Amino acid sequence: MKPRVLLLSTVHPPTDPRIMYKIAPSLATDYAVICVLPKLERAMGKKDFETISLPFFRNLLLRILLCHPVLLWRCLRFRPAIVHIFVPELIPIAFLFHWLGAKVIYEVQENLYKKFSIKQFNKAVVFQLLFKFFDRAARKKFYCLFTEHAYLNEYKNLPLTSAVVHNYVALPFIDRYYGKHEKQITKPPVFFYCGVISMERSFDVLVAALIRLKSRHPDFRMHMFGKLQFDIMDAEKLPGFFKIQSNIVFHGYTDLKNALPFARGATAGIALLKPVADYTDSYTTKIFEYMAMQLPVITSDFPLYRDVVENAGCGFCISPYDSDTLAKKLEWLVENPEKAGIMGRKGRISTETYYNWANEEKILLNFYTNLLKPKKSYFLTI
């Protein structure tokens, strides 16, 4: 019988790419995987692993009172060998599984010690104090996984095994839903954005750049997939927003596999982030997805990002505050399609060589295997 693994989150969407399209399928060959996420529908599950749906509440207190008990009621009966949690609010529940004999993996996907400064919800002082208390307790008893090497600067001297498993792109997934083909840039130009939409992610800078772009390419289209972190009325207050409002399509949060077809024929993928919170320490996964789709990348000029984009020659790293430079780069890509195509192909080669999930999957599987290895005994049996 395969060892049971519970993948638990009370926050991630039911189509979270890392959990649903990378980690769960990767583990399913060797483990009986049960993926527990909010609002999961049975149709969303894969044939090679089980899914359990939880209710979702944006308010943390409501999640603790109404969602966590449902999780325990539905999952304690499984007696898993490994419990893998993706959010720190589940640390107390993970301790219960730990006391029942399960190995617990605590995955750190963001540096909350820095991230609280830009959170819009669930950032009360009491929540921050509770996070620090339980986070420090988890470091002592749980095995830690990190999505970035930079997080090791915060999580030092861990007593148990830890590893870094980057959230690089799953190329078979991209090729299945986007298509693996020679990219043909369409006219009028199309641009693609996928991720959280916020002022911290330079939406205001993007608007200013698109206003300038419209004077030369009035019929461009900007597809934006992701949750708005501001009210649309705040966007309407940006200078000149009304001039390009009809050129922008806000699709909202969308399953990645349904968003990918809109990138076909796009001129570029945009992933600008301002140097706030832990952004300078963390890759934005969209960079690698754009590269896999052969889209030239325009992203922030953080050293972490420059090492990827400039070394590969697959795009531009610019100041996330500089709308003029952003507009010039967009114009250049539109007006130099052959050179843009070369950038796109270089990006794809780089993901095939370095920044792909297949490489990270090996680290993940090895990490899991080592957790369940029997401990060596140094006592002689007579």
Strands (E), 86-165: 103-108, 143-146, 162-164
Query: From CA 147, how far away is CA 151, in angstroms rounded?
Result: 8
The verdict on residue 195 lying in a domain is yes
pLDDT in tens, 334-375: 999 999 999 999 999 999 999 999 999 999 999 999 999 876
- pLDDT score of 382: 40
Contact indicator for 195, 207 with CB cutoff of 8 Å: no
Domain of 96, CATH number, reads 3.40.50.2000
**Residue 159's pLDDT band (boundaries 50, 70, 90)?**
very high
Instruction: Match 């649903």 to its residue by tokens.
Output: 20
Angle between helices 125-141 and 91-99 (to 10 degrees): 30
Domain that holds residue 64: 4-168+357-371
The verdict on residue 380 lying in a domain is no
Query: How many CB atoms are closer than 10 A to CB 64?
Result: 17
pLDDT in tens, 285-342: 999 999 999 999 999 999 999 999 999 999 999 999 999 999 999 999 999 999 999 9
- Whether 8 and 132 map to the same domain: the answer is yes
Query: From CA 323, how far away is CA 272, in angstroms rounded?
Result: 11
Mean per-residue pLDDT of the chain:
94
Query: How many CB atoms are closer than 10 A to CB 101?
Result: 9
The verdict on residue 320 lying in a domain is yes
pLDDT in tens, 74-103: 999 999 999 999 999 999 999 999 999 999
Query: From CA 287, how far away is CA 298, in angstroms rounded?
Result: 8
- Whether 251 and 308 map to the same domain: the answer is yes
How many structural domains is the chain composed of? 2
Cβ burial, residue 365 (10 Å; 0-12/13-18/19+): middle
- Whether 91 and 215 map to the same domain: the answer is no
Query: From CA 353, how far away is CA 359, in angstroms rounded?
Result: 9
pLDDT in tens, 99-143: 999 999 999 999 999 999 888 888 899 999 999 999 999 999 999
pLDDT in tens, 165-200: 999 999 999 999 998 766 678 889 999 999 999 999
Cβ burial, residue 126 (10 Å; 0-12/13-18/19+): exposed
- Whether 158 and 256 map to the same domain: the answer is no
- Whether 23 and 164 map to the same domain: the answer is yes
Residue 380 confidence (pLDDT) above 90: no
